[in-house]
Amino acid sequence: MIKHSLQKFFEIVLQVDKTTIIPPYLELDRNDRTIPDISGAFPISLLEPFSSVKCFFFRLSQRNDKGNIYCSLILAQSITFHQEFMELARALLMNMDYGLFPKASDHENASEIGWMLYSVELFLALVQ
């Protein structure tokens, strides 16, 4: 059920920006070339076993007493997050009871990598 909810979330993200990918959350996993990024060509539904989902959706929690599930992820997109993506995705996400909250980068060597790719770490809340 959790994997299905994450796939629905990603389908909404792809509706807004078809170029979006979700790379592995930890740098060590991102450097492992045997782990593909989640994309339109490699959806969440293909991730097996379930433990591999946590590679992309870091700190995937159990449901709390309100039925919410929380995790952290990275969205890499070709559009800006605050101005374009959230403006287009906000209503779609709210209709599905998904919450998406930007998280400030605390990496000591953070820098912008160019105009072709915009990436932001996110905190995702799913309500079931």
Interval 28-49: pLDDT, tens: 898 998 999 999 888 888 888 8
Domain total for the chain?
Answer: 1
pLDDT at residue number 21:
92
Note the pTM of the prediction, 2 decimals. Answer: 0.75
Report how far residue 25's alpha carbon sits from residue 56's, in angstroms, rounded to the nearest whole number: 5
Burial of 76 (0-12, 13-18, 19+ CB in 10 A): middle
pLDDT at residue number 56:
92
Please give the residue range of the domain that contains residue 109.
2-127
pLDDT at residue number 120:
56
Peptide bond into 23 cis (omega under 30): no
Interval 52-110: pLDDT, tens: 888 999 988 777 777 788 888 888 888 887 778 888 888 888 888 888 877 766 655 55
